[in-house]
């Protein structure tokens, strides 16, 4: 799992049919404010991709490569109806081929991440931040590691409360106190749509 939301398909026998990938409920279920935000963002991404298409066609293609949130539920319904005969169900070999490799760096990063969370809960926040940063260095593409750390520190910086957990960066004027190399707004805005949520279907 390298981002949220991620979905794994597991059949009645406990066998993985699709490995972790981005997936959402149908757009009709979104509140109006979220539907509007997503529509505006998609329009902005397409406009930016069109502007750079001649100069950087590869980047433009990656920007257009993000998941289509509205069709994913239809794939799940197809699998629920047809089981292994669904075009979306993978064979065990295909699942392995589509799964991310887990080399020593990723395994070490996972260990740092787990230790960081344990230390944070134990009240040893400075030590936790060291291990969060190690996890970020070892697996920089793992948004889950980053967003967890950014949310914990950002929530505290914002003073908690209902909206505090959504703060994933330094508060204005407190940039020097931010203990991480990146933050959500800076990194997500610089990441093409197809890299943040790669297309899987």
Query: What is the pTM assigned to this prediction?
Result: 0.82
CA distances from 3 to 7, 12, 68, 142 (A): 10, 25, 16, 7
Distance between CA 187 and CA 160 in Å, rounded? 23
Q: Find all residues with CB under 8 Å of 79, minimum gap 6, and list them.
A: 9, 17, 86, 88, 89
CA pair distance 173, 196, nearest whole angstrom = 28
pLDDT per residue, tens digit, the chain (201 aa), is 889 889 999 999 999 999 999 988 776 677 888 788 878 888 888 999 999 999 999 888 888 888 777 888 999 999 999 999 999 999 999 999 999 788 999 999 999 999 999 999 999 999 999 999 999 999 999 999 999 999 999 999 999 988 887 899 999 999 999 999 999 999 988 888 888 888 888
Q: Residue 30 corresponds to which tokens in the numbers above? A: 């979104």
How confident is the model at residue 110, as a pLDDT? 96
């Amino acid at each position: 799992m390298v981002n949220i939301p991620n979905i794994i398909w597991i059949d009645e026998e406990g066998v993985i049919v699709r490995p972790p990938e981005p997936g959402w409920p149908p757009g009709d279920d979104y509140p109006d404010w979220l539907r509007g935000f997503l529509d505006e963002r998609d329009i902005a991404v397409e406009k930016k991709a069109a502007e750079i298409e001649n100069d950087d066609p590869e980047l433009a293609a990656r920007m257009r490569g993000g998941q289509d949130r509205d069709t994913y539920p239809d794939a799940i319904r197809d699998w629920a109806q047809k089981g292994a005969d669904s075009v979306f169900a993978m064979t065990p070999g295909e699942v392995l081929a589509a799964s991310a490799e887990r080399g020593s760096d990723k395994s070490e990063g996972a260990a740092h991440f787990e230790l960081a969370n344990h230390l944070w809960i134990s009240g040893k926040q400075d030590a936790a931040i060291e291990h969060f940063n190690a996890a970020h260095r070892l697996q920089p593409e793992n948004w889950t590691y980053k967003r967890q750390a950014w949310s914990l520190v950002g929530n505290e910086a914002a003073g908690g409360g209902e909206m505090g957990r959504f703060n994933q960066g330094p508060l204005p004027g407190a940039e020097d106190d931010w203990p991480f190399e990146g933050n959500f707004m800076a990194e997500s805005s610089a990441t093409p749509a197809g890299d943040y949520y790669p297309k899987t279907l």
